[in-house]
Structure 1
């Protein structure tokens, strides 16, 4: 039964949309949503509506790589926080998420990390669809990338929409990190996106989405060049409220725009690309999700799917901070080198995910321990944490904030892995490669035992890679199938990080581009486009 807007709310036509009727409605102009909307709009016979809750991306904080930290906490951020976590000394850590054209790709650190070979093999196995296998995904990356780096025709593309290049003229501390890795027996590579992620891992200078000194978000790569096309409508400052139903088929969306409720309909499909927090929120508030959760808020159940909001995963990291001998410049937004490593050579996937930042970044709780004015940070991260969280509802309305119980460090193995990661970073920082550049290790220093564990609990921060809350798979907790269609309903797909069966090794932006491309492949096949 179709949900009817409150009669007291007027529903005028959108003042920048010529119609309220489209073939496809894409909800969310973040990484995956931009891919889906841009690719579909390439067909002039297909009418596409792209809806974004945030505003325009044309701000210095977005476009200038070095200003990315200024987006955090701004109007371009959803400003989510996790609930108080007993495993983090009851801290409520920020869980920033992009709220602007381009989503996370407009406010992140611009790192292009494609995931490990076995991430994609796992996706294929979980979904029962070989289109997610590593060899299939390599072909997607080849058509996506406009890669400027060491030639690798087996793995890299040269004429795609996404400009990817190795950080140009990396700072001395980034170069020293690679040498330090070699000194402790970790191999280095020309790129973190080729052979390095087909084995145990290694260290490399980052690939970035920076072109001629400017950020090239995924929105800028896929959608911005098509603005003005008659078949593409982009609405900003417009928040999706809920799905519109005809029986068990999704036929459109209700949105809140300029304080009023409006309705848009889709002849073919609605694609949710709202991210791993807002996608399950909209699903549940529209009647798709765990029966008990929906009943708690008086929401009629359209389709019972217990996996909606479950399986929340994120990359967590812990800062080790080193003091410079003398002040150093910051290059390319401050993150120019990375290291992935498997602590055990028999592992299928790396368990260590370290990201270098060229300035000191302590958590608020550890800042009082003494932070150098000039220094660099190595974020010792968990590539595949075992802890799991949950996204649930605080109420049935669009204005009711989601509840995020991230569960960080709730699995005891994650604390042990965190300590191993810190020790590896300390070993790196002690290498001769940093002589003359680094004066000393500032944090955590000589802590051990309970004191070091307490430091880790206070240091834990997110890499902003929330995912897996509407996972793809074949089991009872899966929300979408291998073609990203939501189980039990028609006319609805999901394309964002929420569909990952498990989080990928490394930053999630590039895998979200693949998810968008896969959604488009399936849509084109379904409708002969």
Structure 2
């Protein structure tokens, strides 16, 4: 098929989608089999998989708007989404462990969620992560071997042939960063000089052992971003059984006793109610999923009563166990300005500071432009340079989410508690030191003039640098965790304890944060949710 023919057929399909969705969204239908709340990396998967059966009526609700904007589609423009209408604009509370700083906790508010505004990295997680999920849930379907089968099933891999680890023909196009820039390739050379092995891909064998360094796997095709929404949901939006409603803020769940019957939604300036004959699936992310649960009467009894919310199900773990990847930028000045490729992040490194750990605790992400924190920028940021983020893959600090009020318009209180565990500060010191060793390796001679920050600081000054420089990788998770203890919110099939007709499928169900970026694990969570729902209802 020629490019002209392809463009024509794509245009015709898009027109068909718009006509179909205009008809569906303006109809008076309020009854569906399944309602999926949130069109992010997990919700897009659940809705699309359920809609594969033409007899199943699916409603997908998204508080944000269209993804058809340049800052979403053009990989290099992703920073423009931060602080825009495509960002929830969450902010953690001021944190004494960060010198009173309040960290922005950006999260996607657009069709595709985080997969429409992120840096497009496809990172599967470590073998130990998934085996931990299986142990916590008591369900072998979450084990690494099982999840590896899911990855092979869903991937359309465009890199070196690797049938043991990669799949072909699935909905998820993945490829190594195309034509990576010198900063990325030299980072691998520097890693080898420090005894860190390099791999063809950061997914596969590299994530079964101590880690290593590799050129990133990205979700970019023909120079354009591929969100999970575009890969899964968009191809089904011309179907009459899938309604996608944007600008739809889920307010509360509706009930018959302890069975969820649907949702109340703020849409177009009015409150609308939709009913689900079978189930509601919450895929609103690690902040808004706990919010809707608590404001609907599901959560810690004391927290609900504080806001006059009637307790329907006491689940003390809702909003607890908040985890996120924290990182600290180290910056080098270029000798000459360099091009930015593939959105700017083309190489990564995972490594263990202690071989006894079950997974790498260092998560280093290379970015091809200088990115200081606002507080550390005053130290002197080069006009042209690159950043290595020294991240903590498994921080021990735990945060919590609290309600500021009982209504949909009341903002959530995010107590991230970043660096509250002293072990995290020690791990950060080790991670930054390794980061500096990488950036100052002989491999970079000629490309850079030298290290801009942090430099060779004493212990006290370095700790100050870390507290002023800590930022998020935007991987909030674990606030409605899967498991079998008293703090668990969902079981191994993602069903909410004590409530019928309600499931959760997003990063909030993670018992612990995965090693690396969370988009790919959220796709697996969406696939698992769809599998168990299909099995339960014979669809």
Q: State TM-score, norm by structure 1.
A: 0.97
Q: How do 1:178-257 residues align onto structure 2 when only pairs under 5 Å count? A: 178-257=188-267
Residues 81, 95 of structure 1: 8 Å contact kept: yes
Query: Hey, what's the Cα distance between the residues in 2 that align with 1:14 and 1:427?
Result: 57
Deviation at 1:385, TM superposition (A): 0.0
1:3 aligned residue: none
SS at match of 2:348: strand
State the distance in 1 between where 2:157 and 2:90 align. Answer: 34
Give, in angstroms, the shift of residue 234 of structure 1.
0.3
Q: Could you tell me which residue of structure 1 aligns to residue 3 of structure 2?
A: none
Is it true that 1:461 corresponds to 2:471 in the alignment? yes
1:214-233 Cα distance to aligned partner (Å, 9 max, x none):
00000000001111210000
Q: How far, CA to CA, are the matches of 1:145 and 1:37 in structure 2?
A: 18
Structure 1 residue 300, shift from structure 2 partner? 0.4
Measure how far apart 1:16 and its partner are: 2.6
Q: Which residue of 1 aligns with 2:81?
A: 71
Match of 1:273 among 280, 283, 303: 283
Question: Given the alignment of the two structures, is residue 412 of structure 1 paired with residue 426 of structure 2, yes or no?
Answer: no
1:125-145 CA-partner distances (Å, limit 9, x unpaired): 000000000000001001111
Residues 203 and 339, structure 1, Cα contact 8 Å, conserved in 2: yes
Quote the offset at 1:157 in angstroms: 0.8
Rounded Cα–Cα distance in structure 1 between residues aligned with 2:184 and 2:178: 11
Q: CA deviation at 1:15?
A: 4.9
Q: How far apart, CA to CA, are the structure 2 residues paired with 1:362 and 1:447?
A: 17
Q: Which residue of 2 aligns with 1:129?
A: 139
- Is 1:472 matched with 2:461? no
Q: Unaligned stretches of 5+ in structure 2?
A: 1-22
Structure 1 residue 302 corresponds to structure 2 residue 315: no
CA distance in 2, matches of 1:181, 1:122: 28
| Separation (CA, whole Å) in 1 of partners of 2:412 and 2:123 | 28
Q: Which runs of at least 4 in structure 1 moved beyond 3 Å after TM superposition?
A: none
Equivalent position of 2:18 in the other structure: none
Query: Where does residue 55 of structure 2 map in the other structure?
Result: 45
Aligned twin of 1:9: none
Aligned-partner SS, 1:235: strand
CA distance in structure 2 between the aligned counterparts of 1:374 and 1:358, rounded to whole angstroms: 9
Question: In angstroms, what is the RMSD of aligned CA positions?
Answer: 0.9
TM-score, normalised on structure 2? 0.95
Q: Is the 8 A contact 2:63 2:247 kept in 1?
A: yes
SS in structure 2 at match of 1:229: coil
* Pair 1:17–1:219, CA change in 2 (3 A): farther
- Quote the residue 1:258 is aligned against: 268
Asked if the contact 1:16–1:235 (Cα under 8 Å) also holds between the matched residues in 2, the reply is no
Q: Return the offset for 1:14.
A: 8.4
Match runs of 1:95-174 below 5 Å: 95-174=105-184
Separation in structure 2 between the aligned mates of residue 260 and residue 394 of structure 1, nearest angstrom? 22
Given that 2:24 and 2:243 are in contact with CA atoms closer than 8 Å, whether structure 1 keeps it comes out as: no
Say whether 1:493 aligns with 2:503. Answer: yes
SS of equivalent to 1:31:
coil
Structure 1 unaligned spans of 5+: 1-12
CA deviation after TM superposition for structure 1 residue 513, in Å? 0.2
Alpha-carbon displacement from aligned partner over 1:8-55 (angstroms, at most 9, x marks no partner): xxxxx9853451000000000001000000111111010000000000
Q: How far, CA to CA, are the matches of 1:15 and 1:21 in structure 2?
A: 13
**Residues 322 and 377 in structure 1, CA contact (< 8 A), matched pair in contact too:** yes
Question: What are the Cα deviations for residues 69-92 of structure 1, in whole angstroms up to 9, with x where unaligned?
Answer: 000000000000000000001000
CA distance in 1, matches of 2:76, 2:520: 20
> Which one of the candidate residues 339, 345, 363 is aligned to 1:329?
339
Contact persistence 2:137–2:491 (CA under 8 A) = yes
> SS in structure 1 opposite 2:272?
strand
Distance 1:411 1:17, change over 3 A: farther
Output the CA distance in 2 between the equivalents of 1:377 and 1:304: 45
User: Which secondary structure state, in structure 1, belongs to the residue aligned with residue 26 of structure 2?
Assistant: coil
**C-alpha distance in 2 between matches for 1:308 and 1:343:** 32
Q: CA deviation at 1:104?
A: 0.1
Match of 1:10 in 2: none
